[in-house]
Amino acid sequence: MTRCRKIAGVGAVTLLLGGGLLYVAWKADRAEASRPRGPSAVPVEVARVTLGPLANRVSAVGTVEARRDVVVSAEAAGRVVRVCVEVGDRVAQGAVLAEVDAELRRLAVEQAEAQLALAGANARKTAKDLGRNRALFEKGDVSDAEMEGLRLAAQSAESALRSVEVALRVAQRQLADAQVRSPIAGAVARRFVEVGETVGPGTPVANVVDLDVVKIKLTVPEQEIGLVAVGQAARVTIDPYPGVTFEGRVVHIGSKAEGNSHRYPVEVEVANRGESPLKAGMFARTEVLTSAHERVPLIPAAALIEGAAQPSVYVVREGWALLRPISLGGRQGDAAAVVEGLKEGDRVVTMGQQMLRDGAAVEVR
């Protein structure tokens, strides 16, 4: 009986001790739960601001056009007796493209030359007669009326000579017009006539294009046209020649937008290459170099806060993320240039920004 009472007493003491310990633990948990807690750190990835070169470019897709594109037309009427070129032929400036029957024009030149010889002889004779009789007139051996007649004859002969000279030049020009010549050096893109056809003044004979230097015609939006200037370097790529880059320069900027598009015409000239010839009508991806900087702060474009009214990034300082507004100077690939707001060595958040607010604790990983 006494042994049972001892066991019961020990059990009671154990229960009291256990209950006390549980109460103390409960109180500690309550105190811990009610104690103010610091913010939990957000895991982020960062990158340092570096200094590097940046080239700002305006990009657009344009069309290749010949620097000079001329449709050469006949200036004389007649039957085509000779065609001297084929499509694709290269021709020099002044080369004969086709020839119209010129037999009558040659005869007209010969006739004018004969008339010129006769008029010249008559002019020389009347001039000599006037000279001989002038001395006699001074002596009184020739009357005023005779002298006046000699002067009129000499003037008439001189006028007739000039008239025949003009007629000869006209006949020679008409003979020259029988040959249709190219006004520029280039390649024959099209030929419009065949031997035996009858043509008249203004009839197209051939299309000659100068592709030694080509023009890239493109349009630039209103927001970027202020960055483009005549003389700026341009880089052109063409799909048919992957990996090949053509260098050119801006030669013309339009002063009027095309229609209601708010896009302005720009022309870039590019020297053509023999091994990779540019052809009129090709699409050309063009980048105009608007500015270049040697050392500017660069950050990954992934660090920029999307949708912000002003470009901004999170800068990490001593475990805290600070929202920093910045001014951008342009982009190049995956990098963005910062004109104001950051300096070399600053750490910017590149991943995890969506979970941050200004002043949030962060853990860099």
Whether 203 is in a domain gets the answer no
Whether 10 is in a domain gets the answer no
CB-based burial label for 333 (10 Å; 0-12, 13-18, 19+): exposed
Q: 187 with 79, same domain?
A: yes
Q: Which of the 8 DSSP states describes residue 347?
A: E
Whether 196 is in a domain gets the answer no
Strands (E), the chain: 42-48, 50-73, 78-83, 90-91, 96-100, 179-181, 186-191, 198-199, 204-221, 233-237, 245-253, 263-271, 283-300, 312-317, 320-325, 327-332, 335-340, 347-351, 360-364
Q: Which of the 8 DSSP states describes residue 302?
A: G
Give one word for 206, left, alpha or beta, with left for phi > 0 and alpha for psi -120 to 50.
Answer: beta
Residue 23 pLDDT: 52
The 10 Å Cβ neighbour count of residue 262 is 12
Q: 287 with 321, same domain?
A: no
pTM over 0.75: no
Q: 228 with 307, same domain?
A: no
Residue 38 pLDDT: 47
Among the three residues 143, 164, 191, which one is the final residue of a domain in this structure? 191
Angle at 322 between CA 316 and CA 324, to 5 degrees: 110
Residue 140 pLDDT: 65
Q: Which residues of the chain have pLDDT under 50?
A: 1-4, 6-19, 21-22, 24-26, 28-38
Q: 112 with 220, same domain?
A: no
Whether 1 is in a domain gets the answer no
Whether 33 is in a domain gets the answer no
Residue 8 pLDDT: 44
Q: 183 with 254, same domain?
A: no
Q: 85 with 175, same domain?
A: yes
Q: 217 with 278, same domain?
A: yes
The CATH code of the domain that includes 359 is 2.40.420.20
The CATH code of the domain that includes 230 is 2.40.30.170
Q: 77 with 180, same domain?
A: yes
Q: 268 with 239, same domain?
A: yes
Residue 308 pLDDT: 62
Alpha carbons within 13 A on the beta-carbon side of 152: 6
* Helix pair 144-177, 103-139: axis angle to 10 deg: 160
Q: 170 with 96, same domain?
A: yes
Q: Which of the 8 DSSP states describes residue 310?
A: S
Among the three residues 191, 222, 248, which one is the final residue of a domain in this structure? 191
Residue 268 pLDDT: 95
Angle at 158 between CA 114 and CA 107, to 5 degrees: 20
Q: Which domain holds residue 237?
A: 59-65+210-292
The pair of three-digit structure tokens given for residue 183, joined into one six-digit string = 């006004």
Residues 6+ apart with CB under 8 A from 236: 216, 245, 246, 247, 248, 268, 270, 284, 285, 286, 287
What is the domain count for the chain?
3
Whether 205 is in a domain gets the answer no
Among the three residues 263, 292, 321, which one is the final residue of a domain in this structure? 292
Residue 172 pLDDT: 92
| Residue 70 near residue 208, CB atoms below 8 Å | yes
Residue 353 pLDDT: 83
Residue 192 pLDDT: 95
